[in-house]
Each structure stands twice: as C-alpha cells, then as structure tokens.
Structure 1
C-alpha cells in the first residue's frame, strides 16, 4: 500500500465530520457527448444520495460550440488535434439536452419518491442548469454564468466540500478559480480565501480533456485535491468489450440492459443511448451507434441491440455514493469509482494507472482497470433496481440491504492475532442476505486468512504483519431480491 502522507489526513478530517451525517455537495460540468447523456441518466437515479448544486454545460477537446463568427482553432491536445485539425466548431450537442432529460425525469419523479423521499424535484434541478465556457476547447477567458456559479459556491459559508465533476474539460472550473484569484488576490484576506477554496474544492476529472488543469489549476492551486481517472474509466466507456473481464460483460450486454434497464422503464430510460436503438444525437456526426447496420465489426468489437455504449463519466459521481466502502475520505481504499494512489509529485493529487492496479483473478495478472471492473456486476444490478423505481411500487421493487459488523470498522490487532467478526443485516424488503468476506489486499498491506460461517467470519492476521500496517477486509452482503443488491462494510485491521 502506498501510504498517504500526514498532510492528507489533516485535510480529510475537514470532510469526515460531515461525511457520515450530511449529504455531500457536488457540481457537474459536462460537454454533452453521448456517454455524458447516459451518465446523466444514471446520475439522476442517484441524486437522492447527495446534494446536487450545479449542472453546467462546458466544452472539451471533443465538443465545443465556436463563437459563431467563423473563428477557428487547433486543439492543444494531440489526439483531437490529429483527428480533427483546424475547426470553427466541433460536434457541439447544444445547451438544451439536460433540460430535455429533466422533463422526462419530472414524469418519473412521483414514482421515485415512493422509494426515497430525498429525490430532488425536476424544478429544483432545472434551477441549477447553467451555461459555462463552451465556445472553444480550453476557453477560460470569459466569465460565464456557469463559472460564476461555481465561484459563488466555493466562496459560500457552507463548510461542506464541493465535489467538482469534470465530465469534459476543466475549463469552466478553471475560469471559476481564475475569477476568485482576480477578485481577491490583492485583498488582505487572500491567503485565507485561497486556503478556504483549496480545502473546499475536490476535482474528479476523467482524463485531461483540455489543457486548463496543467496550465492553470495545477500551477496556481496546487493544494486543491484532484482525483485523476485516466485509465480505469475506459472499462466503463467505449472500449469496454476489450477491457472488461468476460465474467462481467453480460451485465453490459443487450440481454441484460434491454429488459432490465432500457425498455419498459419509463420515458427517461427511452432516452438512454444504446447500440442499435435507432437514436441519433443532434449535432454529433460521429454518433453512429444507434444504426443497427453499423455496429458489427467495429474497432471496438461487434455489438447487438441495446448493448451498453459508454458511461465513461459515471465513476465521477459514483465516488459520492455511500455503499459502505468508505472510499470518499480516502480514494486509495477503492470503491465503485475506482481506486487511486497518491502522486509522488503532489500530495494533493490521486491517480490511477499501474501503481493503482488490482489483481485480476481471470488473468492472474495485475490489471490497471480491475479496481473498476471488479464492481461492474453489483453496479449494474443496482442501476437496474433504480430503473425499476421509475415504474414500480415500493412493494414490487427491490431495495439495498444494510450491512452491520458488530465489532466496528477499525480494529487494532497484533501480528498473528485471530479476530471474529459478527455479521448481521437489515433488509427493508424482508429478503435474506448472504455474506461474502474477502481481503482487499491492494488497498492495504496484504492478505489475511478468512473463514466464513453463516453470520460470522474469523480473520487471521499473518504472523509476518508489521507495526502500522493495515489489512482491509470487505464484508459484502447481497440480498435475495431481484435485481440482487449488494452493500458492504470495510473493516480495517491496524497492526499495533
């Protein structure tokens, strides 16, 4: 395990008091690609789990509007520069698609609140939709409604963090930070304002989709925490057939997606993009996936109707969903959003890649995608249950269990010690819950030996364990409803 330096736990203490009691705050920035649309639909199904405080159109290396005057640009990013050359606009999907999806969400909202009263209304979410910096890739010269909204939230008196999701470029976030710098850098309070904003902001970015993090945010705001997903998200994106283990692929195929998520689940899911569904996004000439005649023998593989296309940005908001893995406070622990290790160059930056690999049991090799792919089955079943919430009564649908470990989540032990965990569950639907207990070796310092009985697990710490090491044991409980739903408790054994 790559140990986190002392400075990060101090920052995480700022979060911890709120994480267990108060909803986390988040703002989404999105470039509107078809995978953003699908991510947004899944996001709406989880808005009961956190406080959404902004939904902001932004640009990226893949999508930008242009200024309407014919001004051209060449991408600063090598991949899109080579693909598209000099342009006056690029695949721009417009600034109404979130409003259109919220109109469909409004239709299913009365049913969603039968399952959880915390689902926000469509009207409340509509008030949060803003237009950010969209004219060009990486454009951050102009103050926009979206950038000003982010700046206002970062400066407000609410002590909770703002989890900033970059589904596209980071330019609107960068503009917000630049505005704060312009407005306050000459103030006597600048040091405290900058410290406040740096502690308050967390950026979860899917790749670098423009150059604004490297050129502005990183150099000027080095103490803003950044979770940088450049590898793991691909398994939940366009090349999933190449990346995802065979055992997980059925949950992304049309045989599962069609009946359990897309069809007969209300008007919102009719807008979900899938292979061969006949849909076409206005403004994006590259969107071929809906054409059934064009989805065989593609460079990504061959696909069937209703197969999953991509939700490459969903890991960003899944970091906020508390399923019992306690990954929010420390992203090196791993969870439905992936697993990240602290950068050697910047204590405030967490990255995926080779150093954040997990052992893939199908190949027997370390796999830099497996920290994400290992969760695909429970994630997809959970999504299917929430799709049911759009159309079914509480009694007809399934809801997740609560997993309880009597001994708690942190236990101090000696090397070689044996500890018994007493397990129980609560399931609102009355379904039995079946346990699995395993060591997450890559999140800690090694593997413990585990013997599972019906409602208890014996954990044997190795004799070779050293003082200060951690052993992460995941207690996983899955109910017998349909779709079967899984929740967890992470127990961390620290060697005395």
Structure 2
C-alpha cells in the first residue's frame, strides 16, 4: 500500500452495515458494493427487524419473512455478483476491494426475533471490536433493519467495561467516535436500551421517501425517467451480474418462501384489485414490469460516498443521502423529515398514503445524478477496458474548500476541472442555503474557472455559507462530480 493509499483510506468514511432481507436491502446492497471503492467498509451483518426475523425453534418462534435455511442471503448474493464483476471494476478503479475481503466482512448478527439481543453473535462481536479497536476515525454503524445487533454490541461493551471498572472512559471513547444511522427505528432496542444507556450517542435518522417504495411521489418530473422499465432495462437490470441481481417489478422473485401477503412485487400483469383478490395487502402502488421498486436503505450509505459533497461531515450538510435537521425531542438525534429544502417552482409538498405532508426535496434533488452514476458503474462492471466506459470528471478548488471571510467580503477561488475520458465538462455553482446558516443570500458568480462568492453584509461571525460546484461531463449518460466550498464568516 502506497502513502497515497494510506492517506485515501484515512479520508474515506468507515462504515458497518446491519441489514434485514427486505428486497430494497438487496438493491441497496448491490449499489453499495459498486461504491466499495469509495467507502471503507468494516462490516456487513445480517440482522432482524420488525418486518423480518429468522425464528427461534427452541423458544417456539416461527420465522417471519426470512429466507429458508441454506438459501443465499442478500448480502452474499450481492458479493457473489460483485465477484463476477470485480476484474472489470478494478480496471476502472484499483481501490475496489477483493471479493475475499468483502466476504470476510459478512457476519450473522442477532436474527432470531424482532429486537433479538439475548446472545452475543459474530455480528455483534465485529461491531464491538471495531468500536474499540483504537482507530481514531469516526465509525458509522448503519441500521438498514432493526438496531438490535448494534444494541447487543453496545450492551457487551457496557457489561465488560463495568466489570473492568472502565465504563466512564469506554463510554466517552465510543460516543466520541460512533454515529448510528438508521432508516426508521425498526424494532424496540433503540428506545428500550440504546438511548437510555448511551444518552449522548449520535443518531442520524435517514428515512426518506425519495429512495423508498413511494419515491414517485417526490421525485422531480424530469427524474421520473430513471424509475421507468425502459431506463432500468437499458442501464441497470440488463447490465451484467450485479444489474441482473437487482430486483425490479414483476421479476417473478420472492423475499422468502411461501405466501407473504405483503410481497407482491415479483408478480407481473396483475392490477391492484386482482392482487387483493389473491389475498395480497396492496400497500404500495403497482407499476409496470421492469420498473424500479425501491432502494430505501441507500440513503444510509449515500452520505458517505466520496463525491465531493462531504455529506458525512455534518448531518445538516446534505447530499446524495439527503439532509437532516436537529430533532426537537433529542439533542443528539438528527431527522431527515424535518430538513426541508426549498422546492423548485411548480413542485409542492405531497400528501402521502400515511396521512402526512412531506417535502423530501433534500433527498429527491440528487436522484438523477445518483442514478446516472449507478448506470456508469454498472457499465464499468461489464467493460474490461478503461477507455471504453465513462468516468466522472476530476474537480479541485484552489486554494481549498474550507475558507473564511468577513461580512461583505468577496471570496474568489479557482476551479480546476478535467475529464479522464477527454469529454467536455460544464461547471455550475449555487449556494446551498439550507445547509448554511446566513440569513441573507450570498452572491455566486462563475466566470470561466473563477468562482466569486460574495458574503452578505449582514452576515454574523460564525455563520457558514455552503456553495456547491457541479462538474458534469457531456457523455451520453453524464457523470457529475462536486466540490462543496464552505466559507466561515470571520
């Protein structure tokens, strides 16, 4: 490993994933392995939730929506597909880890029942080991399902530390370096154990409609194309082993064996009424065969992709994983549903099937770019020569992306954009007001490679201004790179 590799590894976010076998978890896992070059993965762990558990015969608990014994779990399915594509992927980025490395991260966590924390598991021990391994980088522990395996790891840490008389120091160490992200609290363990025993542990709640089963309610009109059967067939489900493993409407597949009245996504050619006549509880609208279904848990790891948006640095920053705002009831929790970005003209908050009004633009505004990037990486997976595929532009900012200036001052930076494929690159820049803290608007002027940012005259000391620079190539499926310039008011 070179010095540059070590520096890159130190910069990339460290991530542990816990996940249940929902079909959207499979789709998110397939996307995740395509971004394993950007994220320092430290664990891939099966866990239960209120929607899926493996069952415990000794306790008389039947399995619920869990794949039968001996079946390949969704994490293993994703790594299997990745293994077939790895030789091609590493042509396009040598940082892609080996399939063997990813397999070593796959562990079984607490899966027997909803909220299972009774015993230590390989998965809970992995989490415990990472949180205590002495690496000073922040660890993002993600709950794509329930938080129970995470809770079991924290319980083991607490029990051992109290026996050793080191609880206070251990608590401070874990709290200082750990962030939990979750798509909803899908079991009782957050409320019953984690928050009462770890009151200062940071939680980023990343639930969003934009990447879930109801995405079409909040996605911009111009981005709806990325969910259609035609686009999915050409750019996702028809592209290589990873794309072919991706779940789409009417694909004939099930999450678990036997009848499941909530799992009608694999059935093609049936209307809502026809599905209900067959005994299904149609809780999500029906779409044409081949259409996008859901990737709900991608908002967990999308914030950690090193695309220049620096989304993981602060929950309020915003990016491909959406944006979070402080919870009014918990000083250490951040919530996606409270972070509203200003909607474009013609868009309005939507009334959901759950009786709530939602403005999910903080996540939905990025969907087109993230989908196009997925298409690009899937094309890498079937393209053995670098020059035969597209790659995102390189974008740097001189003198840097973290600057300071006084109220009323004009701050200038120079942008350097290039494209590894020789494509033309278009630059745009805009103030991300919701991510900043100034009451007034900054002026943003882009002239060639010079970006001038005017700090409002009434800006207060300590205010922050966030300006997003986008570099888009002119490939048939354009790729986007970003730079986030943050100016602190002196």
Same fold by TM-score, threshold 0.5 exceeded?
A: yes
Does structure 1 residue 385 correspond to structure 2 residue 376? yes
Residues 245, 362 of structure 1: 8 Å contact kept: no
Of 456, 468, 485, the residue aligned with 1:491 is 485
Which whole-Å CA distance do the structure 1 matches of 2:413 and 2:134 have between them?
A: 42
Name the SS for the 2:427 alignment partner.
strand
Match of 2:218 in 1: 243
Which whole-Å CA distance do the structure 1 matches of 2:177 and 2:457 have between them?
A: 42
Of 112, 117, 141, the residue aligned with 1:135 is 112
Q: Report the CA distance between 1:325 and its aligned residue.
A: 1.2
Match of 2:354 in 1: none
Q: Report the CA distance between 1:116 and its aligned residue.
A: 1.0
Match of 1:126 in 2: 103
Match of 2:251 in 1: 277
Q: Report the CA distance between 1:22 and its aligned residue.
A: 3.5
Does structure 1 residue 315 correspond to structure 2 residue 289? no
Residues 12, 306 of structure 2: 8 Å contact kept: no
Does structure 1 residue 41 correspond to structure 2 residue 30? yes
Of 390, 396, 404, the residue aligned with 1:398 is 390
Which whole-Å CA distance do the structure 2 matches of 1:368 and 1:215 have between them?
A: 30
Of 261, 265, 269, the residue aligned with 2:236 is 261
Does structure 1 residue 441 correspond to structure 2 residue 433? yes
Taking structure 1 as reference, are residues 62 and 362 closer, same or farther at Cα in structure 2, changes over 3 Å only?
A: farther
Name the SS for the 1:391 alignment partner.
coil
Does structure 1 residue 466 correspond to structure 2 residue 449? no
Which whole-Å CA distance do the structure 2 matches of 1:104 and 1:384 have between them?
A: 16
Q: Report the CA distance between 1:160 and its aligned residue.
A: 2.3
Which whole-Å CA distance do the structure 1 matches of 2:283 and 2:108 have between them?
A: 34
Q: Report the CA distance between 1:104 and its aligned residue.
A: 2.2
Does structure 1 residue 294 correspond to structure 2 residue 277? no
Q: How does 1:204-219 map to 2 (within 5 A)?
A: 204-219=181-196
Residues 472, 491 of structure 1: 8 Å contact kept: yes
Match of 2:14 in 1: 25
Match of 2:174 in 1: 197
Q: Report the CA distance between 1:146 and its aligned residue.
A: 1.2
Q: CA RMSD in A?
A: 2.2
Which whole-Å CA distance do the structure 2 matches of 1:121 and 1:150 have between them?
A: 21
Which whole-Å CA distance do the structure 2 matches of 1:228 and 1:199 have between them?
A: 18
Of 52, 58, 68, the residue aligned with 2:47 is 58
Q: Tell me whether 345-354 or 156-165 shows the greater mean CA deviation.
A: 345-354
Of 323, 326, 341, the residue aligned with 1:358 is 341
Q: Report the CA distance between 1:337 and its aligned residue.
A: 1.0
Match of 2:288 in 1: 304
Which whole-Å CA distance do the structure 2 matches of 1:389 and 1:347 have between them?
A: 43
Match of 2:363 in 1: 372
Please give the TM-score of this superposition, normalised by the length of structure 2.
Answer: 0.89
Which whole-Å CA distance do the structure 1 matches of 2:247 and 2:334 have between them?
A: 31
Match of 2:91 in 1: 114
Q: Report the CA distance between 1:152 and its aligned residue.
A: 1.6
Q: Report the CA distance between 1:215 and its aligned residue.
A: 1.0
Question: Unaligned stretches of 5+ in structure 2?
Answer: 1-5, 274-281, 350-357
Q: Report the CA distance between 1:344 and its aligned residue.
A: 4.4
Which whole-Å CA distance do the structure 2 matches of 1:47 and 1:278 have between them?
A: 29
Q: Report the CA distance between 1:177 and its aligned residue.
A: 0.6
Q: Report the CA distance between 1:69 and its aligned residue.
A: 4.4
Taking structure 1 as reference, are residues 138 and 28 closer, same or farther at Cα in structure 2, changes over 3 Å only?
A: same
Q: Report the CA distance between 1:299 and its aligned residue.
A: 5.4
Count of aligned residue pairs for this structure pair: 461
Q: Report the CA distance between 1:218 and its aligned residue.
A: 0.8
Name the SS for the 1:32 alignment partner.
coil
Instruction: Map Cα deviations across residues 287-326 of structure 1 (whole Å, 9 max, x no partner).
Output: 2112211366865444223211011000111121111112
Of 389, 406, 414, the residue aligned with 1:414 is 406
Please give the TM-score of this superposition, normalised by the length of structure 1.
Answer: 0.88
Q: How does 1:158-169 map to 2 (within 5 A)?
A: 158-169=135-146
Of 163, 187, 200, the residue aligned with 1:223 is 200
Which whole-Å CA distance do the structure 1 matches of 2:163 and 2:132 have between them?
A: 16
Residues 352, 368 of structure 1: 8 Å contact kept: no
Match of 2:472 in 1: 478
Which whole-Å CA distance do the structure 2 matches of 1:220 and 1:153 have between them?
A: 19
Taking structure 1 as reference, are residues 269 and 364 closer, same or farther at Cα in structure 2, changes over 3 Å only?
A: closer
Which whole-Å CA distance do the structure 2 matches of 1:349 and 1:282 have between them?
A: 34
Instruction: Map Cα deviations across residues 449-491 of structure 1 (whole Å, 9 max, x no partner).
Output: 2233232233333333333322211111111123211111111
Which whole-Å CA distance do the structure 1 matches of 2:25 and 2:404 have between them?
A: 43
Q: Tell me whether 21-30 or 475-484 shows the greater mean CA deviation.
A: 21-30
Of 61, 65, 77, the residue aligned with 1:91 is 65
Match of 2:279 in 1: none
